[in-house]
């Protein structure tokens, strides 16, 4: 794996996760995993983190992992090299003081400059792989809040900066599906859109990029890390003719 390091100190390393790689084993996915890279480069992190016990696959080790990005989502990923780093980051995620910002293209034209999606998320009643923020969701409904800023829109698409205030599984994808603006080329939440437009903006994966992340390191210093735009985002920006918007926002 070719993994780019964006920031590093004695306790924490931040990487630019490529699309297509799963963060840690889950008993179902094929590797390699980000955790393989962690163990290869930081073997002392082997016992850092919290294993997860599952009924189906037993105990799953997650060395260094504090949070996750979906397989197809690219961008900023925090990794703890030490137990002190893990404790510091875990505390901030629990207190919701980590500021995460994503970029995405969604189907349809959103006209409001700013918006908040505040919808609890539960299990989909129809597909065990999916979550839902609409009527009929089952199981425990967990609060979920997503803020967004409209950067630009063109016929059929909107380009957004998103700040999830909570960290639910698939939160951004679920929330925008719930308001009828699913993420472009999201095979799980927008298969019907992919059938209509199989080559939408040239994406071959869900159009979601973890662009920036702000946290406090173990010595109390505020850190902001930015992951450069991947090639498919740059190509989509060019296809829509919104290069000036991206430059104005400091994205390229």
Residue pair 20/205 in contact by the 8 Å Cβ criterion: yes
Residue pair 80/64 in contact by the 8 Å Cβ criterion: yes
Residues 59-116 pLDDT 10s: 888 999 999 999 999 999 999 999 999 999 999 999 999 999 999 999 999 999 999 9
Q: Identify the band that residue 245 occupies on the pLDDT scale cut at 50, 70 and 90.
A: very high
Residue pair 168/174 in contact by the 8 Å Cβ criterion: yes
Is the CATH number of domain 1-94 3.30.2350.10?
yes
Instruction: Count Cα neighbours of 19 within 13 Å in the Cβ-side half-sphere.
Output: 17
Residues 214-228 pLDDT 10s: 999 999 999 999 999
Residue 237 has pLDDT above 80, yes or no: yes
Residues 31-43 pLDDT 10s: 899 999 999 999 9
- What six digits make up the tokens of 143? 């609060």
* Residues in a beta bridge with 210: 75, 102
Residue 219: per-residue pLDDT: 97
CA distance 30 to 187: 18
Q: 244: part of which helix (H) or strand (E)?
A: helix 243-248
Global pTM exceeds 0.85 = yes
Catalytic residues: 70
Pairing of strands 4-8, 12-17: antiparallel
């Amino acid at each position: 794996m070719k993994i780019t390091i964006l920031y590093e100190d004695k306790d924490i390393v931040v990487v630019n996760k490529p699309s297509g790689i799963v963060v840690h084993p889950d008993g179902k996915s094929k590797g390699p995993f980000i955790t393989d890279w962690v163990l290869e480069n930081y073997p002392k992190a082997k016992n850092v983190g919290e294993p997860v016990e599952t009924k189906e696959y037993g105990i799953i080790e997650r060395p260094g992992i504090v949070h996750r990005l979906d397989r197809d989502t690219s961008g900023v990923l925090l990794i703890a090299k030490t137990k002190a780093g893990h404790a510091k980051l875990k505390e901030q995620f629990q207190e919701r003081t980590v500021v995460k910002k994503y970029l995405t293209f969604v189907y349809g034209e959103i006209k409001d400059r700013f918006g908040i999606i505040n919808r609890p998320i539960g299990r989909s009643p129809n597909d065990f792989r999916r979550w839902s923020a609409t009527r009929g969701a089952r199981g425990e409904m967990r609060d979920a809040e997503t803020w967004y800023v409209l950067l630009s829109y063109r016929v059929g698409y909107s380009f957004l900066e998103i700040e999830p205030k909570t960290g639910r599984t698939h939160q951004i994808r679920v929330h925008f599906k719930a308001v009828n603006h699913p993420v472009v080329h999201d095979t799980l939440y927008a298969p019907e859109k992919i059938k209509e437009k199989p080559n939408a903006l040239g994406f071959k994966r869900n159009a979601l990029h973890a662009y920036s992340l702000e946290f406090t390191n173990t010595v109390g210093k505020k850190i902001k890390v930015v992951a450069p735009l991947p090639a498919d985002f740059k190509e989509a920006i060019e296809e829509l003719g919104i290069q000036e918007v991206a430059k104005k926002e400091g994205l390229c």
